[in-house]
Structure 1
Amino acid sequence: MNGCYPHESSSAGCMIECLIITSGFSICQVARMIAVNWTQSDTGGISVSNHDQPLGRWPNAPLALVLAQVRFDPEIDTAYKDVSARLKTVLRERFPAMKAVRQVTLVFGSTPGVAVESKPNEGEVGRELRSDDNRRALRLQEGVMTYTTSLYEDSLRFLAEWRSMLDCLCAAGGVKVQRLGLRYVDFIIPTAGKVPEDYFKDRFGHLTHVFGETAQTAFMSHEYLREAEGAMRVQFGRGFAPPSLPPDLDGSVHLPPVLLKKYTQGQPSAVLDIDRWRADSRRLQAAEIAAEFQRLRDDISMTFTRIISPEAVAEWSGQPT
């Protein structure tokens, strides 16, 4: 079992399907039920996320952040103000705050002596629901919904929560999907005597046989096509500094403190960024979109399992090989 992207039974997904088919409630009311039920543990009790625990099921998991995004053709029923209002009603306890998203315009050379001037756009371009601890953010803009979190118990709960959001997006029916994307970011912080490359089977191709040594600072990006299923992008960056999020995710949510505490000044660290996406042009219902995300997640899990070393599994899972 993979601690960062664990494999679970799909039976819970079938249970959610039955709720939607047999219930007489509206779609958003069903979404409210899902949003509450997803926190129930296998023993029947309520599972409260521990902010001081590593993400995922492994006790030493390196997972830092997970992001899901759906892009779709904007329609009257999917206007971001309407969707954000529906989501606020359903997920009020999880997202107490809602803020306006405003665009910043950079004006070059508009005033003598001022090279760059930053001006906030007077009108909002979206809305963002946030948790009070800033560990979860759900952003709505015209034609795009993005959920980012650094509180992640396992994929079953994450996808169930994402499904409740999709239900509100598709409250009036399906949406015409343009693109689906799922992204996992890991912080590789080695224990004493190790380097980030020790956690991967091929050491991410540092060409030591050519240069005779491992590069101290490096960045590699690999993209693998999935025929008609989009692509998988795997990026690896390492250096001698605390790991940080990729620039496009910087500041999106607060990171897990327990993960950042592992870093010792002056030691090497790395960031592993796996992004699985696919283009689409079909009109899909929430259940169909959720099923596509399950497939994206399974592909990421398989990729992660294939590239990490047995030593990484032993350290992160806490179970010596």
Structure 2
Amino acid sequence: MYKRHRRLRANGAIRDMVRETRISREDFIYPVFVVEGEGIKSEIDGLEGNYHYSVDRLNEFVDSVHFAGIKGVLVFGIPETKDETGKSAWEGSGVVQRAVSKLKELDPELYVITDVCMCQYTDHGHCGILDGDVVDNDKTVEYLSRIALSHAKAGADMVAPSDMMDGRVLAIRETLDKYGYSGVGILSYSAKYASSFYGPFRSAAGSKPQFGDRKTYQMDIGSVREAMDEIAEDVAQGADMVMVKPALSYLDIISKARDRFDVPIVAYNVSGEYAMIKAAGKSGMIDEKRLAMEVLTSIKRAGADLIITYFALEASKWIEEGII
């Protein structure tokens, strides 16, 4: 005697009824890149279907998010000028600060998360303050706290430090609380790997290091236990949500984190993962819609509660179409 598993695969109706993992529009966080200037909506090379927006055209971005039914966005800023300390990252009139204010003006209910880092703002492209050729951890944490506070003042609902400096979650939490922003959450890039999947993003954000790499602060691609330690430390320091980045090659990390921690797990389906599917779809090698939905489902199945993805607008439409 054996069990006939195929009885529960016989047709679409029963497959839908017994499906264990489901994704919805509420699972997605959509990244947006905001640039200085006016009248700008320019498609990003390597991120087909995603755009650089100037602040005055963010109404078009908000309209697209509304139409897709997406609740949360992640804001990246590309400044006009850069310097050694990334000063424009924390200025009240900075591009992210103005973008956040505009987004909340356009839709007070939109959940606005801001990326807190320095790589886009420094002339050397590293994620902090340099001491020679080395990023100074503790000095960088001071600047990151300043950036996070400026985002909170602009109206951000949550800040997301992506730098991978030790102790930055605690420092940011203490700073936000000290200045009356205890209601602003922290999404920590807790397990951010020194991955080769970031290429299109670095081009989009103008954040490529001018020398060396980021392996002294981002995680080694072979590490697992260290990722769990990083996440545990960030949770202890006050992170409300934690992130694994990238997603697709690190499903094991997402799964282990889900088994161990009770906080929401966010996975970043990064630019290289997106670009590969787009390129293969354009060549006719794969069915882009179905493969994208399979990838997103696998990330959710591994244990992610939320997925940051450049597919958010399209995937929301594909869900409505029943593509899976």
TM-score by length of 2: 0.32
Q: Which has the higher contact order (CA 8 A, sep 6+)?
A: 1
TM-score by length of 1: 0.32
**Going by fraction, where is strand more abundant, 1 or 2?**
1
